[in-house]
Amino acid sequence: MKHRYAVALTATLVACCTLLAGCSDAGNPVDFNAGAKDGGDARVKPADADTLLPTGPKSDFRITRTLDDGTHIARATLKGAKSGVTGSVWVWAPKEYQDPKYAKSGFPVLMALPGGLGSPKEQGGVTNYWVGGDIALQENITKWTAEGKSLPFIVVMPMLNPDTQYHDGSDIPGQQKMGTWLTEDVVNLTKANFRTYKSRDGWAFMGSSSGGFAGLKSVLKYPERFKAAIASGPDIVPDSPLWAGHQAEKDANNPEKLAQRLLQKGGPDVYLAFQAGSRESSSVSASIEKFRRTYGKGPIHTSMQLIPGGRHNAWDYQKGMADGSIKFISDQLKGPVASGS
């Protein structure tokens, strides 16, 4: 079930995004390849064997918002080589990314997916609301990092749907390949422009509503690539009308069936932080708890954050992240490695 709160949320964010365009440095190019010398990181020896230096080519990122600490959110247009999908991707690197002691280290990546359509066709043109200054995800991650709750994540915020229909973050036959877009093309863009990790220890998803489903499904489908997810008020099973006539492919993107397969294989271990607000429909938390009872064992580690007074929205879900969910996944992922030079 897709929730209508996202429509109202999108309308609220229109004014915010207008303000973003008014920033003094908005539209300026930005290169996130911090620590590079003499034309790139090619001559830098990584801090450890797991660190992947930027592979290139460099994308044309343009600033959309600058935080008070001087860090930037920036947007690039990605033409997906694997999926054929073209769309916007926003990125943000924490202040630690610029710290000379981490100049040779990879950083963990958090792929942040919105609820609602997450499409350029969304009312008001708000493609991914996690970029917004009123939601302040990046400011909160900065705060949680200082408090020891969170790793200093690179946050990647892609388009979720290309049109006015829900694609369930999947490659639905006859439709644009949104599963490949999210799990391959956007990942490759991130590796091209940032110091990341080769292993799954540096890759996680977070998302709300339909974005929570896409992140949950992606981790369960590709546990060898992604280790953790925060799924807030998610759908538990695929429900896009576009699946009609494609039951086998739909089953191959069903978190319940993917979880059963992972249990049968015995791993690798994944870490799923579920969230729901106490003022959401009881069916949301009930479906989460049913999933946890059935599949939350063996290699599938789960937590549940019930947010007091919480509704189905990004602001309340961040309260749950602060209260435990961001630490739950951070404890299982790899932070940057300091080096002496």
Number of structural domains found in the chain = 1
pLDDT of residue 170: 98
Residue 174: is its pLDDT beyond 90? yes
- Domain contains 340: no
- Let me know: does 274 contact 243? Beta carbons within 8 Å: no
Give me the chain's average pLDDT, please.
92
- Domain contains 335: no
Q: Which amino acid is at 22?
A: G
pLDDT of residue 23: 53
- Give the CATH number of the domain where residue 308 resides: 3.40.50.1820
Q: Would the pTM count as exceeding 0.95?
A: no
How far, in whole angstroms, is CA 101 from its chain's centroid?
A: 26
Residue 246: is its pLDDT beyond 50? yes
- Domain contains 44: no
- Let me know: does 89 contact 187? Beta carbons within 8 Å: no
- Let me know: does 25 contact 32? Beta carbons within 8 Å: no
pLDDT tens figures, 53-110: 999 999 999 999 999 999 999 999 999 999 999 999 999 999 999 999 999 999 999 9
- Domain contains 284: yes
Nearest to 186 by CA among 93, 91, 122: 91
- Domain contains 336: no
Domain of residue 110: give its range: 5-29+52-330
pLDDT of residue 2: 59
Percent with pLDDT over 70 in the chain = 89
